[in-house]
Structure 1
Amino acid sequence: MKNKTVYLLMILATFFWAGAFIAGKLGINALSPTLLTFFRMGLASLILFPVLIHKHPQTWKINSDQLKIVIATGLIGMIGYHMFFFSALKYTTASKAAMINASNPLITAFLASLFVSEKLTLKKIFFIFTALLSVIFILINGNIENLLTLTLNKGDLLMLCGTLSWAIYSVIVRKYIRQFGALKLSAYTFLSSTIMLAPFALITFVKTNAIAVGLNPYLAVIYMAIFPTVIGYLIQQYAIGQIGASKTALFINLVPIISTLLAVILLNETVHFYHLVSLIGIILSVIGFNRVKV
């Protein structure tokens, strides 16, 4: 019965994460990537930091060596990823962005094999290759001529850069997660990215008169900060403790599926056959990769 509750919570978390692609698409129509990233990370920091202090009142502070690490994770994982993510949504659909992002676990695994000495078997390399082919298929819109003529969507390429940024961030996290703990590293990563972005966000806010865009873009930011960033994170950490990291990770495969459904319903996006082929290819590659025993 307890596991069923965890599974239901993880399904809820996947809806939150999927909704971030919809909210991002709505927000980018009125606010710049800089402001969206700053507000999302800033609000998440305000929520998550008190949780950190409450749960770890004696050990919530970091030292100077750890400061360098959270600056790197904030710059690469939060600023880097989100600037690419929001910029991508200017030029591509929320559904395609979610599908491209679904390849992240395999890109992370590949980078981890290079920089953290995590072992890759031939079977795992095969699934990384099939996922790569699936990503390429969606980048060329299912038409090989687009690859030969380099006719690629700018937004898709930006999302691929964002996925790479998140993969690099994930490798750094794997290396230092035991030193910090998941909650502490996340809270300080959010905070460091907020501080680094603050002056740029202020200039952008004044120059673009962002207060005049109305309430809806800010509601999108509030959603992204609270539900996928904070609540989704807390559910994920709880689930890892209850059912393990591997079972928890499998739920992430639902994100591009739910994102696509929400994009069709809420944004009137059109899904083509090549979308489905790519999505199935990426998801099966991730599942196959995770089922391979080292």
Structure 2
Amino acid sequence: MPAVALLVVATLLWAGNYLVGELVVAAVDPLSLTWWRWVLAAVPLVVLAQVLERPDWRAVARHWRPLLLYGAIGVVGYPLLLYAALEHTSAASASIINAANPALIVVAAVLLGQAAAHWRTWTGLGLGLVGVLLVLTGGSVERLLTLSFNLGDLLMLGAVVAWTAYTLLGRRLGVPPLASTAVQVLLTTLVLTPVTLAAGLTAPPDAASWWSVLYIALGPSIGSYVCWNLAVARVSPTVAGVSMNLVTVFTLAIAALLGRPPTLVQLLGGALVIGGVLLASGVRARAGGRGA
């Protein structure tokens, strides 16, 4: 599967994480939700890595220290901060702050010498950011200016920083991506278990909550992380960062399926986001004459 397609699948599944996560944190605390997420996902990830990559597990295990660090940042840090943020702020507000992620990844990658920012990159980044702001504010400047940063907003900023670090660090290790994800999950789950038990593990209280947790374990946890790690190894940090804006577009699409169709402004914002992703990734449309 092309790397851009993998990024699309990852962001689609993560869009569901925002909507479902906002509902689940009303019944399950963020630490417990993060623990359930990875406990349920750990074994399937190991099986997938073995079937698809057949890695040398001894060689992978020799990298356990950096893998534990990466896992603490991206596997635990990002979702834990996200779910904690959703206790105090809306999914829409969290998504607006998450739109800063591409810019932060671009700036960090350039500063670290991992990427060169060309006009197409910055233009695509700008289009994507404008599209996200249009979608989330309904085209109202007043709504944009009146957004305030509460505790949830600050926690979401921390999540953005965590994902930026995870994206950039994950490119350097040279471990097969699925095996890397699986070992990160195993190591961080082992460390997280006593902490979660000591803090008081909360179980989903009803069937709906269990189904929601199961979706988070299978979709955003297994599907998204596998697709993301496969793609990040093949694309630049700037392309990976800009693609994160698609989370907002897919969130609106899911809402439409639930009976809340998008407005004209939302459609325009979605077009700008998709155009920005394609521009930054170097995908160009064919001229009309060539398509004949």
5+ long unaligned stretches in structure 1? none
Equivalent residue runs for 1:179-194 within 5 Å: 179-194=174-189
Amino acid of the structure 1 residue aligned with 2:71: G
Instruction: Tell me how far apart the structure 1 counterparts of residues 268 and 129 of structure 2 sit (CA, whole Å).
Output: 13
Q: Does 1:219 align with 2:211?
A: yes
Structure 1 contact 123–292 (Cα < 8 Å) conserved: no
Percent identical: 27
Tell me, in whole angstroms, the C-alpha distance in 2 between the residues paired with 1:238 and 1:151. Answer: 36
Q: Count matched residues.
A: 279
Cα 1:274–1:101, aligned 2, differ >3 Å: closer, same or farther? farther
Q: Which residue number in structure 1 is paired with residue 81 of structure 2?
A: 84
* 1:63-74 paired onto structure 2 within 5 Å: 66-74=63-71
TM-score if structure 2 supplies the norm length?
A: 0.73
Whether the aligned pair in 2 keeps the contact of 1:103 and 1:135 (CA below 8 Å) is no
Instruction: For residue 166 of structure 1, report the CA deviation from its aligned partner.
Output: 0.6
The amino acid that maps onto 2:48 is: V
Partners of 2:62 and 2:165 lie apart in 1 by 20
Query: More helix per residue: 1 or 2?
Result: 1
**Are 2:35 and 1:44 equivalent residues in the alignment?**
no
Q: Give the structure 2 partner of residue 288 of structure 1.
A: 279
Using a 3 Å threshold, how does the CA distance of structure 1 residues 71 and 224 change in structure 2: closer, same or farther? same
Distance 1:104 1:10, change over 3 A: closer
Worse overlay, 138-147 or 279-288? 138-147
Of the three residues 160, 165, 177, the one matched with 2:162 is 165
For normalisation by structure 1, the TM-score amounts to 0.73
CA offset digits 1:38-90 (Å, max 9, x no partner): 11122221211122234455602346751121111111112211111111212
RMSD: 4.2
Would you say the 8 A contact 1:87–1:158 is kept in 2?
Answer: yes
Q: Which is worse superposed, 137-146 or 111-120?
A: 137-146
| Higher deviation after alignment, 97-106 or 64-73 | 97-106
Query: What secondary structure sits across from 1:213 in the alignment?
Result: coil
In the alignment, the residues of structure 2 paired with residue 161 and residue 279 of structure 1 have an alpha-carbon distance, to the nearest angstrom, of 26
Mapping for residues 103-182 of structure 1, pairs under 5 Å: 103-125=100-122, 127-128=124-125, 151-176=148-173, 179-182=174-177
Partner amino acid for 2:108? Answer: L
Where structure 2 has 5 or more consecutive residues not aligned to the other structure, the ranges are 285-292
1:238 is displaced (CA, Å) by 7.5
- For 2:193, the equivalent position in structure 1 comes to 198
2:253–2:262 Cα contact (<8 Å) kept: no
Instruction: Pick closer, same or farther for the CA change 1:237–1:79 going to 2, 3 Å.
Output: closer
